[in-house]
Amino acid sequence: MNEPVLVSIEIPENLQIINGKNIEKKDINKFNIPSTISKIGYRCFSCCGSLTTINIPTNVIKIGNECFYGCSSLQSINIPTNVIKIGDKCFEGCSSITTINIPTSITSIGDWCFNRCSSITSINIPTSIKTIGDQCFNGCSSLQSINIPTSISEIGKECFSGCSTLTTINIPTSIKYIGNYCFKGCSSLQTINIPTSITSIGDQCFNGCSSLQSINIPTNVSEIGYYCFSGCSSLQTINIPTTITSIGVGCFEYCSSLQSINIPTTVKYIGDQCFKGCSSLQTINIPTSITSIGKKCFYKCSSITRIDIAEIHYVSEERIFMNEPVLISFEIPENLQIINGKNIEKKDINKFNIPSTISKIGNECFSCCGSLTIINIPTSITSFGYGCFEYCSSIQSINIPTTIKTIGDWCFNECSSLQTINIPTSVNEIGYGCFYGCSSITTINIPSSIISFGRGCFYKCGCEEELKKNKRIPKYCFDKW
């Protein structure tokens, strides 16, 4: 080991096995293997970075794991027809190999076998192969085409991940499952045919396939994995079959060319960040089957103008709609009971209809809806949450129903256009900073039912001087918070 000038080595004729690690990390550029050898062991030629060619005799039946790992100068290799197994990571990092012949005697290709073989342009997989291992062709950045025979029943995870020049691939009907990350980062892949035999598409399967324009998901697929089509920035259309019951986390995240999508009535759940960054998405219809929408689901959907929600029972508390500057209309389903906080933060919605089934408006629910001018609050509402309407700078008036008992802290904070407000006798508490900075308010009636005032609740209120004359209102109500 570590003989930097050793460039040639002869193996004796009567040797049958070359054991692993014997020749690791050499500057050998030539190696003659005698015909008596039947097995090349684990890591036998690993990291022989100067090895350019090698002849494998016909008696060899097994090439061990990591056998040619890191042989970065090896340009071609002929695998004889008697070889029945190629070990895991056998040719990993052989970055100069351009072509390789796989004989029909081989039935499986090991995990990571051709990983990072970045110069391979094409490869022919014989019909004798039944399985392709995990990350088998991962990082084969020059691979342009590959034919998968019908004998293959399984493609391992990350199998073609990072094959950035692969433009087309045909998946045979013998395949039932596409593994996690299988085509992740295949940025040149424009079309792919998914056969009807597929029942499941793994997590991040097509993540980063930025040239993929359309995809048809067959009717036998029941599951689409997390971040499956994330970053497919050229994807314009996709068909979701009625066999799908849930759309996973981040599934269509940053599909920036997707303009519309049809969600079938079989879908019950839309995962977190599912349509995040879909900047061309204009309309979406959410069917009556949906019972849950995950957090940040429509975050940064900057072109969305309308979302129709039918029968949703639960909405995550974590900012479903954010930074959508043209979303102007929003309908709440009739059977929803609570609008949770931060769902509609920072929107240009100018109209909002709340159905009579709603009993509570959660914390910061309409916070920063700067274009909101009209909102109807039904008599079913019993409380306003913390910061509920804060920074709604365009709202001029609001009707507080007689069912309200508590107006939460900072509820109308900085509602600078709010001119009049009527507080009903049902209210017994006004929270901290409730009307803080409401500079346009000219009158506020203070019913005798109010027994608790929060600090700073009338600070810089338009009618502050008039309210100071009311001896029932503590002085701290006018303090700066």
- Over the stretch 437-471, which tens digit does the pLDDT of each residue have? 999 999 899 999 999 999 999 999 999 999 999 99
Does the pLDDT of residue 321 top 80, yes or no?
A: no
Does the pLDDT of residue 140 top 90, yes or no?
A: yes
Mean pLDDT of the chain: 84
Does the pLDDT of residue 311 top 80, yes or no?
A: no
pLDDT at 313: 46
Q: What confidence tier does 418 reach under pLDDT thresholds 50, 70, 90? A: very high
Q: What confidence tier does 24 reach under pLDDT thresholds 50, 70, 90? A: very low
Domain 337-481: CATH architecture, name and number where available:
Alpha-Beta Horseshoe (3.80)
What tokens does 276 get? 């995040």
d(CA 382, CA 311): 22
* Closest CA relative to residue 372, chosen from 357, 354, 391: 391
DSSP letter assigned to residue 465: H
CA angle, corner 398, sides to 393 and 401, nearest 5?
145
Q: What confidence tier does 431 reach under pLDDT thresholds 50, 70, 90? A: very high
- Calculated CA dihedral for residues 72, 73, 76, 82, nearest 10 degrees: -60
pLDDT at 308: 62
Q: Domain boundaries in the chain?
A: 337-481
More confident residue, 283 or 84: 84
